[in-house]
């Protein structure tokens, strides 16, 4: 994962955005936006907002976080980062911004760039059933985390000169498919079947470590990591 492309979101980022240096707060906010704008956008769309309103509301929400010092209510010891942001966003949608103020594009609230077309494309991939806004947010959050993990894993292999190995073997991060498939990959990579089996084992180990590391930085402590990982996989089912 290139850190400049998709920065890690951490409770420390939230806390660093609480007052103090404005420029530092903006950088911290930018990191939060990178990871959470799509889950929050999806939540707003699922509540019935139009694509344009959802985009404007998401932009305005992140601007509001600093303007009204909403981070002052954040405390890493009170729970999960995703829960804090969703709860704050719900409150935001219920206040005067949603009820009585017409949001205008480019009205001074833009703090990061949203690819509206890509956002709608992703939202369209969500089930068109009666899935609740909360469920929609949770699923999109989980998919974002998993995407970050894969980006990080791909970068690790690419930087190690093993990009081809990643592209061929990442399919086995899902439950093992069987020896016949391993033999095919062994032929493609010019490795023995046993070497491929070992490589897949190591890739799965690294994937698990990366997932734990990213989850660990969005919860109160180590004790919540396993619980949050279990929640994540249930969210994408």
- Number of independent structural domains in the chain: 1
Answer whether residue 162 shows pLDDT above 60. Answer: yes
Q: Can you tell me the distance from the alpha carbon of 217 to that of 234, in angstroms, rounded to the nearest whole number?
A: 20
Judge whether 5 lies within some domain: no
Q: Can you tell me the distance from the alpha carbon of 59 to that of 200, in angstroms, rounded to the nearest whole number?
A: 41
Nearest of 207, 205, 206, 224 to residue 215 by alpha carbon: 224
Nearest of 175, 160, 169 to residue 189 by alpha carbon: 169
Judge whether 230 lies within some domain: yes
Q: What is the distance of C-alpha 31 from the center of its chain?
A: 11
Judge whether 1 lies within some domain: no
Judge whether 2 lies within some domain: no
pLDDT, one tens digit per residue, over 21-34 is 556 666 666 767 77
Nearest of 146, 135, 163 to residue 42 by alpha carbon: 135
More reliable by pLDDT, 25 or 160: 160
- Would you place residue 99 in the very low, low, confident or very high pLDDT band (cuts 50, 70, 90)? low
pLDDT, one tens digit per residue, over 190-224 is 999 999 999 999 999 999 999 998 888 777 677 78
Nearest of 154, 80, 148 to residue 140 by alpha carbon: 148
Cα-Cα-Cα-Cα dihedral sign, residues 43, 124, 118, 103: negative
- pTM score above 0.75: no
Question: Domain containing 82: what range?
Answer: 11-235
Judge whether 6 lies within some domain: no
The predicted structure's pLDDT at residue 21: 59
Answer whether residue 117 shows pLDDT above 70. Answer: no
- Would you place residue 113 in the very low, low, confident or very high pLDDT band (cuts 50, 70, 90)? low
- Would you place residue 76 in the very low, low, confident or very high pLDDT band (cuts 50, 70, 90)? low
């Amino acid at each position: 994962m290139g850190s400049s492309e998709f920065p890690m979101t951490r409770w420390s980022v939230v806390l660093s955005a609480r007052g103090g240096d404005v420029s530092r707060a903006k950088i911290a906010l930018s990191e939060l936006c990178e990871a959470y704008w799509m889950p929050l956008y999806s939540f707003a769309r699922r509540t019935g907002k139009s694509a344009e309103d959802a985009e404007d509301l998401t932009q305005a929400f992140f601007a509001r976080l600093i303007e009204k010092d909403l981070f002052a209510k954040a405390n890493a010891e009170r729970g999960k980062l995703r829960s804090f942001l969703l709860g704050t966003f719900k409150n935001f949608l219920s206040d005067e911004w949603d009820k009585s103020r017409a949001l205008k594009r480019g009205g001074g609230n833009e703090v990061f760039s949203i690819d509206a077309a890509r956002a709608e494309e992703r939202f369209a991939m969500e089930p068109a059933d009666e899935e609740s806004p909360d469920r929609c947010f949770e699923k999109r959050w989980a998919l974002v985390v998993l995407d970050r993990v894969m980006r990080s894993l791909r970068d690790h292999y690419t930087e190690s000169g093993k990009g081809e190995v990643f592209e061929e073997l990442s399919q086995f991060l899902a439950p093992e498919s069987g020896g016949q498939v391993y033999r095919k990959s062994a032929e493609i990579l010019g490795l023995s079947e046993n070497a491929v089996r070992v490589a897949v084992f190591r890739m799965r180990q690294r994937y698990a470590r990366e997932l734990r590391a990213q989850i660990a930085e969005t919860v109160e402590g180590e004790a919540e990591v396993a619980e949050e990982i279990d929640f994540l996989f249930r969210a994408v089912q």
